[in-house]
Amino acid sequence: MRALLDFLVKYYHWLIFIALEGISLVLLFQFNHYQNSVWLTTANTVVGRINDWEQQALRYMTLGEVNEALTQRNLLLEQNNRALAQHINELSHDSTRSERLQADRLEGIKLIPARITTNSVMRRDNLMTINVGEADGVLPEMGVVSGTGIVGIVFMTSPHYSIVLPLLNSRSNISCRLRGTKYFGSLKWDGAHPLYAILDDIPRHARFKIGDIVETSGFSSVFPAGLFVGKVKTIENSDDGLSYKLRVQLSIDFARLQDVCVVAQKFQAEIKDLEQRADSLMNQ
């Protein structure tokens, strides 16, 4: 209290001056129309700018949620587009059945949004860490996708994090096909460039061209059929000359990837267990 009184005594003349200036300004703007209009215009401009800054800050803070929503939406749109392309001819006179088949194709697919916490693209065996795990319903061998294509397969899990084996890993091996055909092969990475992978084992009698779309074949419980992978960039003969080897330009730039989704398919664990039991019996 003593310090406050000393402050008031020391600077009382400045405080009186500020108070009188404030009263003068109030009287000036209140009883003069021109000055009042200038004040209101300036005040509205300042308040509007502050509100604009606040909205920009809020939008920036919610960009992560928007990215996750767009990733999920893009995947669903890709599936819908694929379903339409397959059934448009035979179902052109039955829209109800077409919609039902599209819904059946998407039924049982749960998307778990995730953010990449660590990533690498320059090694031969790259790995990726995402911020979801067993507590979120993620299990090993679930597929991982982004809004523009497939990313990889879950390799290991902990309660809250998972290690992903991306396409950019020499151990990655994903069944893919040429869209619009029945021809499929194995998509692998040769370690040469992070934007390209190799699709092996395409038969010599297959008909295709540069620029054709490569997509998931659906011949596993990891990815549903029809997910975009990339486009054919070059065509080469295989090492044994019995098939084609296609260099595929991937749809994803892994160096810039931030948000992904884990694909949890219905009955995936049951299918995987059945396949493992069959393999063990065949190896006996």
Distance in Å from the first CA to the final CA of the chain: 91
240 and 206 assigned to the same domain: yes
In this structure, is residue 278 part of a structural domain?
A: no
Q: What's the pLDDT at 101?
A: 45
Domain-terminating residue out of 61, 80, 109: 61
Average pLDDT for 63-77: 61
- pTM for the full predicted model: 0.64
Residue among 283, 180, 273 at smallest CA distance from 225: 180
188 and 150 assigned to the same domain: yes
28 against 235, higher pLDDT: 235
Domain-terminating residue out of 24, 41, 61: 61
Q: What's the pLDDT at 221?
A: 78
74 and 117 assigned to the same domain: yes
Q: What's the pLDDT at 98?
A: 43
55 and 142 assigned to the same domain: no
Q: What is the CATH number of the domain that holds 166?
A: 2.40.10.350
CA distance 112 to 1: 60
75 and 56 assigned to the same domain: no
Instruction: Say if CB 211 and CB 232 are below 8 A apart.
Output: yes
Q: Is the pLDDT of residue 85 over 90?
A: no
Q: What percent of the chain has pLDDT over 70?
A: 63
CA distance 208 to 246: 11
Q: Which two tokens stand for residue 231?
A: 């486009």
Number of domains in the chain: 2
In this structure, is residue 276 part of a structural domain?
A: no
Q: For the stretch 87-115, what's the b/e string if a residue is b when 16 or more beta carbons lie within 10 angstroms of its beta carbon? A: beeebeeeeeebeeebeebeeebebbbbe
Q: What's the pLDDT at 225?
A: 86
SS3 of 122, please? Answer: coil
In this structure, is residue 280 part of a structural domain?
A: no
**pLDDT averaged over every residue in the chain:** 78
Q: Give the model confidence (pLDDT) of 193-222 as tens digits.
A: 999 999 999 998 888 999 999 999 988 878
Model confidence at 227, pLDDT cuts 50, 70, 90, reads confident
CA distance 18 to 95: 76
CA distance 188 to 249: 12
Q: Is the pLDDT of residue 158 over 60?
A: yes
Please tell me the total number of residues recorded for the chain in this structure: 284
Q: Is the pLDDT of residue 77 over 50?
A: yes
Domain containing 172 equals: 64-267
CA dihedral (56, 62, 67, 69) positive or negative:
negative
In this structure, is residue 275 part of a structural domain?
A: no
Q: What's the pLDDT at 95?
A: 46
Q: Is the pLDDT of residue 255 over 80?
A: yes
Kindly report which listed range (14-23, 95-104, 163-172, 179-188) carries the lowest average pLDDT score.
95-104
Cα distances (Å, whole numbers) of residue 283 to 141, 269, 271, 272, 278: 22, 21, 19, 17, 9
Highest mean pLDDT (candidates 32-36, 105-109, 255-259): 255-259
Q: How are beta strands 143-146 and 149-157 bridged, if at all? A: antiparallel
Average pLDDT for 142-158: 91
Highest mean pLDDT (candidates 10-14, 110-114, 265-269): 110-114
Residue holding tokens 């502050």? 50
Single-letter code of the amino acid located at 69: A
CA distance 198 to 200: 6
Give phi and psi for 119, each to the nearest 5.
-155, 155
168 against 64, higher pLDDT: 168
121 and 261 assigned to the same domain: yes
Q: What's the pLDDT at 68?
A: 60
